A and B are shown apart, each in its own frame.
Chain A
Amino acid sequence: MKKIVVLAFLFLSVSIVAQKYYTKTGKTQFKASVDAFEPVEATNNSTTAIINTASGDIASLLFVKAFNFRVALMHEHFNENYMDASKYPKATFKGTIIGFNFSEISDTKKYILKGILTIRGVEKEIETFALFSKKENKLLMQASFEVQPASFNIKIPKIVRNKIARTITISLAYEFIEKK
């Protein structure tokens, strides 16, 4: 009897541990470029994200200052004027992949990703499609969605208004590995 209980606990703990996939170096990119002007875009290669493959819950976190720009001045303005990165260092997302079923993913599978995006302390609901596939022992996710700076109380001065797109596209490319 004791043995069975011990075995049952062993299996239980194994299944709980094996349910999580994570990345520390997810790629999050935003594009707010307008044709004919200097591209306004940056990539964050250090996004953390965790998926619970049993429930489809997903949580991610990135540090605003870790966005890489090609131009130093743009980086400075982004952190100080628009994102207020010292006051709001993080942007987070918490949500669910609806109908997520880890075992049915092989080639590319499309799911609806729904959740709350928090930027500058302002929460906004996001709903978009996310594409999942498997490569070797990794779980790959790709998604993109659009946001408006005004939704997060980001004010864009008149002088640069024509050079920054009104709608900003955020795209994600995460390679999850199993959490052991």
Chain B
Amino acid sequence: MNLSKKNKLVIIIVLVIAFGVGAIYAYVMKAPAKIESKKVDFSGTSDQLLIKILEDPAAWQDKIVVISGKVTSIDDNGILLSASIYCQLKDTTLLKKINPTNDISLKGRIIGYDDLLEELKLDQCIIQ
């Protein structure tokens, strides 16, 4: 196949543009990061976290934590930990496997302190 210099140039330019558009599209349309791969900002017991939260609730929004504590109750979507932290599970089918008498360790995202129910709320929780 013999291509003239001009045609070669056109092909290269088209390829570069296509690649550029593809890269921009991938950046713009990127899906949100998964909880599993997010960096942990705090790790400890539920009581330790509550003390820190009550000091400065605003600073803890959207933070990723790993907490352990006692299961107080279980509902259709999540677990109440130490009577004051509600953890909404990412995969609710796992709720059936949780033994309510045991301690549990969870990784999740803090969404905020709910002053209607006076509970700290976490979502996207996964069992550690």
Where the two chains meet, the residues of A that have a C-beta atom closer than 8 Å to any C-beta of B are 22, 24-25, 45-46, 48, 50, 59-61, 63, 65-66, 68-73, 75, 85-86, 89-90, 177
Contact = CB atoms under 8 A, between A and B. Distances in A.
A89 B32 contact: no
A46 B76 CA distance: 13
Given A46-B88, A46-B121, A71 B31 contact: yes
Interface of B: 27-33, 58, 61-62, 75-78, 86, 88, 111-112, 114-117, 119, 121, 123
A115 to B, nearest CB: 14
B10 to A, nearest CB: 31
27 contacts: A22-B117, A24-B86, A24-B114, A24-B119, A24-B121, A25-B77, A25-B78, A46-B123, A48-B114, A48-B116, A48-B121, A50-B116, A60-B116, A63-B112, A65-B61, A65-B112, A68-B32, A70-B31, A71-B30, A71-B32, A72-B30, A72-B33, A85-B61, A86-B58, A89-B61, A89-B112, A90-B112
A71 B27 CA distance: 10
A66 B78 CA distance: 15
Contacts of A63: 61, 111-112, 121
Given A45-B88, A71-B29, A73-B30, A65 B117 contact: no
A86 B62 CA distance: 10
A24 B77 contact: yes
Contact of A46 (B27, B30, B62, B111): B111
A86 B59 CA distance: 9
A50 B33 CA distance: 32
Contacts of B121: 24, 46, 48, 63, 66
A163 B85 CA distance: 39
Contacts of B77: 24-25, 45
- Candidate in B29, B33, B119 with the most chain A CB atoms within 10 angstroms: B29
Contacts of A68: 32
A72 B29 CA distance: 7
A89 B58 contact: yes
Nearest to A60: B116
Contacts of A85: 61
